[in-house]
Amino acid sequence: MHVVSSTVEGQFVLKGKFGFVLSEKPGVPDLYVQGETLCLALSGDRVLAKVTSTSSTRPEGIIVRVVSRARTTVVGVYQKVREVHLVVPEDGSDNIRILNMRGLTPRAGELAVVKITEWPTLDCWAGGELIEVLGERGSDPDVDLKAILRKFELSDEFPPAVQEEAESFGTDVPEEAWRGRETFFHIPVFTIDGADAKDFDDAVSLEAGPEGGWRLGVHIADVAHYVTDGRLLDDEAHQRGTSVYLVNKVVPMLPFPLSDGLCSLRPDVVRLTLSCLMDMDRHGNVTGHRIVESAIRSSKRFTYEEVESILRGTGTGGAAPAVVETVKKMGGVARLLRANRFRRGSLDFDFPEPYIVIDEDGRPVDVRRRERLESHRLIEEFMLLANETVATDMRRFPFLYRVHERPDQFKMGKLEEMLKAAGVPVPPGFHEGRSSALQRVLESVKKQPIEPMIHMMVLRSLKQAVYSPANAGHFGLASACYTHFTSPIRRYPDLIVHRIVKENLNGRLSAERQADWKKSLPGTAVWTSQRERVAVDAEREYADLKKVQVMQKHLGESFDGVISSVTAFGFFVQLDRIFVEGLVHVSNIRDDYYIYDEVRALLKGRRTGRVLHMGQRVRVKLAAANVLKKQLDFELEQTPSHQPPRPTPHRTPRHHRR
């Protein structure tokens, strides 16, 4: 049940002509905002908003004031209108007046960066000084990269003092550094990562246990040994919050001497780690665990493809027979863990991710599907189990959790309508947001053409996971207690988790120290959740731009695809050959006038009776590739006017009825 509050404080996300204030309090829904107060805040700002309407399950409100600014610079297209110099942001927010040109002479249409000195009011746009001219969008890959870095205020360079501090540790781990630690030099320990990975912060091991069970070891780089509280390195890592992955560019949280060197679990060299050792019975149930400061010497750097060949019995990945045998056993353990997780109601969104191919000049040339392999799932299961085990172990202390709230009933109601319109059975408990009910929906569309669309619909209906000092569980994983422990090289919350764990292991988690953590963790949770959102937004926007640039070379070409969603203004289509999605606006469907049926989520031709619905195969022609809006527009190709009516939706099975 939702908590009614007169005000909501949280991050503001602009969606063009409207926006949302994202609530951070359990039970308090996000606030929908539209109208004149939208101009007071920029997307990403932290705002205080007043609730003006609770007549529906989606409360509405207005922005009262900005609590803190997400950034002070804005990137946009330079224009001069009646002697007024402007920067027009690409995200649809209000123009920025250039009050001081600082001697720079941009040309119309070039991307420029403005530092804001006067914030917007209800009566006036924001204003600022021009600090950089980047050039025309798409003229050079560096222009695109700089634009995204400047927009989100991401620095791809470290201050000299921070770089020097990272280099001060050297390149090797001296023997005295691992004295007193538990070592795992006697068993096969190895990493499994993507072929293009640079930093390896997790390694795994598997030993036989009693009565047919196993001891699974998850060994994580001990970044906290080097990046301690009070260091310049820590201040910089906190400020960044996370690494950012921009297609072919990484903006790391830590300087490369650590992230790509001393903390990276490279093969055949000793590295300091924190190890979570989990004893399991032959059914995959954890019967005991230990968390220890440790040292490992990785015996192999596997790629996912190499491990996949071992699991399928088609190769060895160049590994020794003992290691190959261990990998095969790991495959069986991972499948058990996965089955156990699904039994408790955990969700699994099993759809491919886009992989953007970049040529030697740094320009995008293709967008392909990156399928999830069994080897990806293996590592995923082991990391999930370690995260859950560490969180459960530390419950009695102040701690930083990864929480995921139940979806709100408004979104579940909308999702239920869309699923029924698509002919997907909706089981009991769905409207209440039970993860087991959502899981049954995902299972019901497995290996059907409509599967990826349904997965995306469900995913968009869920709340976003955040960091919190209060354990509220993780809905998506159906976990009562969860944290992020496994990636301290690239995520600041994991580094904080390591510090608390290490203080506990070394007897330093006194009552006074626990009080310190209780005081600092709420702020850390809010900040790192915000930094994660910034990273996600930057990565998505840059990837969308590269997709549009790939498609610019295909203007006028025809493609086969599948309708992924239908709206009142048209439908979106996912292409087969190139892994991109674009809009077919109703004005680009020329064989008839189409009417939107909201109940059944389809478009129907008034004259022909032609039906366009989700999951339907269509052929489209690329009409426009807009780099400013990062949007693809297609036209529906002419087909015979007669089309069989849409199949009747599946009846709900009797055992699902009430």
pLDDT in tens, 471-483: 999 999 999 999 9
pLDDT of residue 413: 82
Mean pLDDT, rounded, for 162-178 = 96
pLDDT exceeds cutoff 50 at 611: yes
pLDDT exceeds cutoff 90 at 644: no
pLDDT of residue 56: 60
- CB-count exposure of residue 1 (10 Å: 0-12, 13-18, 19+): exposed
pLDDT exceeds cutoff 50 at 288: yes
Element (H, E) at 541: helix 511-551
Say how many residues make up the chain: 658
Per-residue confidence at 1, pLDDT binned at 50, 70, 90? very low
Mean pLDDT, rounded, for 283-295 = 96
> Rounded to whole angstroms, how far apart are CA atoms 328 and 324?
6
Residue 427: inside a domain: no
Residue 282: inside a domain: yes
> Rounded to whole angstroms, how far apart are CA atoms 277 and 285?
13
Percent of the residues in the chain that have a pLDDT greater than 70, as a whole number: 95
pLDDT of residue 5: 64
For 330, list phi and psi in degrees, rounded to 5.
-60, -35
Residue 165: inside a domain: no
Residue with tokens 């939208």: 38
pLDDT of residue 655: 32
pLDDT of residue 408: 79
Instruction: Note whether 264 and 352 are same-domain residues.
Output: yes
β-pair partners for 12:
21
pLDDT of residue 598: 81
* pLDDT tens, residue by residue, 139-152: 888 999 999 999 99
β-pair partners for 204:
190, 218
Residue 214: inside a domain: yes
Q: Is residue 116 a contact partner of residue 100, using CB atoms and an 8 Å limit?
A: no
Joined together, the tokens standing for residue 140 give 């050079």
Mean pLDDT, rounded, for 78-98 = 90
pLDDT of residue 654: 30
pLDDT exceeds cutoff 90 at 621: yes
> Rounded to whole angstroms, how far apart are CA atoms 225 and 233?
12
Please give the residue that has the higher pLDDT: either 370 or 649.
370
pLDDT exceeds cutoff 70 at 657: no
Domain boundary among 84, 104, 136: 136
Instruction: Note whether 194 and 336 are same-domain residues.
Output: yes
Q: Smallest Cα–Cα separation from 462: which of 414, 417, 531, 532?
A: 414
pLDDT of residue 107: 94
What does the angle CA 229 – CA 233 – CA 236 come to, to the nearest 5 degrees? 105
Instruction: Note whether 601 and 473 are same-domain residues.
Output: no
pLDDT of residue 433: 76
pLDDT of residue 4: 53
Per-residue confidence at 642, pLDDT binned at 50, 70, 90? very low
Residue with tokens 């408990």: 429
Instruction: Note whether 360 and 504 are same-domain residues.
Output: yes
Joined together, the tokens standing for residue 616 give 């339907």
Q: What's the half-sphere exposure (Cβ side, CA atoms, 13 Å) at 576?
A: 13
Q: Which long-range contacts does 156-161 make (Cβ < 8 Å, 24+ apart)?
A: 156/249, 156/251, 158/236, 158/255, 159/232, 159/236, 161/232
pLDDT exceeds cutoff 50 at 106: yes
Q: What contacts 248, CB < 8 A, 6 or more positions away? A: 356, 358, 362
Mean pLDDT, rounded, for 558-583 = 94
Q: Beta-strand (E) ranges in 524-638?
A: 558-567, 570-575, 581-585, 594-597, 602-605, 611-613, 617-626, 631-636
Mean pLDDT, rounded, for 239-258 = 95
Instruction: Note whether 607 and 517 are same-domain residues.
Output: no
Report the SS3 class of residue 359: coil
pLDDT of residue 572: 95
- Range with the poorest average pLDDT among 260-274, 401-415, 618-632: 401-415
* pLDDT tens, residue by residue, 538-559: 999 999 999 999 999 999 999 9
Mean pLDDT, rounded, for 636-656 = 46
Instruction: Note whether 375 and 512 are same-domain residues.
Output: yes
Mean pLDDT of the chain: 90
Element (H, E) at 75: strand 73-81
pLDDT exceeds cutoff 60 at 449: yes
Domain boundary among 105, 136, 167: 136
Mean pLDDT, rounded, for 75-99 = 90
Domain count, the chain: 4
Domain boundary among 27, 46, 68: 68
pLDDT of residue 558: 97
Residue 401: inside a domain: yes
pLDDT of residue 26: 62
Please give the residue that has the higher pLDDT: either 463 or 539.
539
Q: Smallest Cα–Cα separation from 267: which of 333, 381, 340, 189?
A: 189
pLDDT of residue 612: 93
pLDDT exceeds cutoff 50 at 43: yes
Mean pLDDT, rounded, for 210-238 = 96
> Rounded to whole angstroms, how far apart are CA atoms 131 and 141?
20
What does the angle CA 92 – CA 94 – CA 100 come to, to the nearest 5 degrees? 125
Residue 175: inside a domain: no
Mean pLDDT, rounded, for 503-520 = 97
Give the residue numbers spanning the domain of 571.
555-636
Q: Tell whether the torsion through CA atoms of 624, 625, 631 and 634 is positive or negative.
A: positive
pLDDT exceeds cutoff 50 at 63: yes
Per-residue confidence at 55, pLDDT binned at 50, 70, 90? low
Q: Is residue 33 a contact partner of residue 52, using CB atoms and an 8 Å limit?
A: no
Q: Smallest Cα–Cα separation from 524: which of 464, 470, 476?
A: 470
Joined together, the tokens standing for residue 445 give 């569309």
Mean pLDDT, rounded, for 357-378 = 93
- Range with the poorest average pLDDT among 18-22, 73-77, 382-386: 18-22
Instruction: Note whether 100 and 48 are same-domain residues.
Output: no
> Rounded to whole angstroms, how far apart are CA atoms 654 and 319?
52
Instruction: Note whether 131 and 266 are same-domain residues.
Output: no
Instruction: Note whether 260 and 313 are same-domain residues.
Output: yes
Residue 262: inside a domain: yes
Residue 155: inside a domain: no
- Range with the poorest average pLDDT among 127-131, 336-340, 428-432: 428-432
Q: Is the pTM of this model over 0.95?
A: no
pLDDT of residue 233: 98
Cα torsion 243, 528, 383, 346 to 10°: value is -130
